[in-house]
Amino acid sequence: MSTSLIPRAGRSLALLVAALVLPACQTVGANLAEVENEAVAAASADQPITGAPVGTMAEADPTDPLRFEGETHLRNIRQLTFGGNNAEAYWSPDGTQLSFQSDWGAINSQGCDQQFVMSVAEGAGEDGAGADLVSTGQGRTTCGYFLTDDRVVYASTHAAGPECPTTAAQRTGRYVWDVFDSFEIYVADADGSNPEVLIGGPGYDAEATVSPDGRFVIFTSTRSGDLELWRYEVATGDLLQLTDELGYDGGAFFSPDGSQIVWRASRPTGEAADQYRALLTQNAVQPGALDLYVADADGSNARQVTTLPGANWAPFFHPSGEKLIFASNHHTLDEGGREFDLFLVDLDGGDLERVTFSGTFDAFPMFSPDGTKLVFASNRNVERTPTRDTNVFVADWVE
């Protein structure tokens, strides 16, 4: 996968229906395609199908031209990347750097996602000169995240071969996403030196993030036969399985105090469950409905937070630890589900509040360690013109 859990849906030659999503940190783009081969091409390239913006693009504020009317929580929005698909931007512990994954041609000639680090103050620049490669430049990677010692963990297929692996979409001609069993979780210095396997073994291991104290890595794995959450203790190497219900469990993050986790999950039943199992044997998933769940950090006391249609995913804890910010298209399904926005919600599922209003794709939010800024990925741009480029943005957060 590349840019994170991405909604990926299937359909036939007419209109591709649905909001999708799939494992790995991957980028998202749960949307409709006009023709099936476009959907397959996008899945093969591991890119979201975002299409043209579908909302009303308000007049720009000359003092804050990347902010849209209604975005009361955001100020001083800055664009940090300038082309291709860039997502999964996550803060360093000191708040000065961001890890991110990208297929942007200016910095990545591989053709599928690699992992990079850039300064928050400077960004990657329009020519990409500020982006430093962390991964090997081979294979496909996903989900880079800083450890507390400033090393970066990420998943990669490079040990299985230097090329981008063949996707399930290429093999089957269907709009499905891959669960590459060649993904292992690596750790490397932020300049890409000293890479080594941190978590490996048979099956898919990816989507790693780290507890605030650096003690644990949480990740998604098929080592038990399903896509479940696992916790790895860095000092001891001990593993603990955190989930055990049928369906995709992934994209997990710890709360600010490390006492809880949040993640996205599907819970297929009946025929959908049979289809899920069958595709998983082919190392693929055809995404569908996703909702958010929280639990204690050991997986106990798990409970569902959202009960919304469509794809609800990319959750992260608000600095208070009492709310979540996440991406969703539940409000645009009648128009095809192309538009994803950021929302806030209480841990009990109440007080849902919309945060972004760009009329296009906004997802992958993460608060800075001090809670004063928000990084996210979006199709917005200063010109307010339709684009499928997904770039990284940072904004001041206003309560």
Q: Residue 55 has what pLDDT?
A: 45
Reading the block at residue 389, the tokens are 């480029």
Average pLDDT over residues 140-150: 97
Q: Residue 277 has what pLDDT?
A: 96
End-to-end Cα spacing for the chain: 34
Residue 35 has pLDDT above 70, yes or no: no
Q: Residue 17 has what pLDDT?
A: 26
* 333 phi and psi angles, rounded to 5 deg: -65, -35
For residue 168, the SS3 value is helix
Residue 12 has pLDDT above 90, yes or no: no
Q: Residue 39 has what pLDDT?
A: 42
For residue 277, the SS3 value is helix
Residue 29 has pLDDT above 80, yes or no: no
Q: What is the DSSP letter of 71?
A: -
Residue 111 has pLDDT above 50, yes or no: yes
Residue 110 has pLDDT above 80, yes or no: yes
* 36 phi and psi angles, rounded to 5 deg: -65, -40
Q: For residue 26, name the pLDDT band (cuts at 50, 70, 90).
A: low
Convert the pLDDT of each residue in 160-208 to its tens digit: 999 999 988 888 777 788 899 999 999 999 999 999 999 999 999 999 9
Q: What percent of the chain has pLDDT over 70?
A: 84
**Residues 392 and 379: beta-carbon distance below 8 Å:** no
Convert the pLDDT of each residue in 41-96 to its tens digit: 444 444 443 433 444 555 667 889 999 999 999 999 999 999 999 999 999 999 99
Question: Concatenated DSSP letters for 224-285?
Answer: TSS-EEEEEETTT--EEE---SSS-EEEEEE-TTSSEEEEEE----HHHHHHHHHHHTTTEE
Residue 301 has pLDDT above 70, yes or no: yes
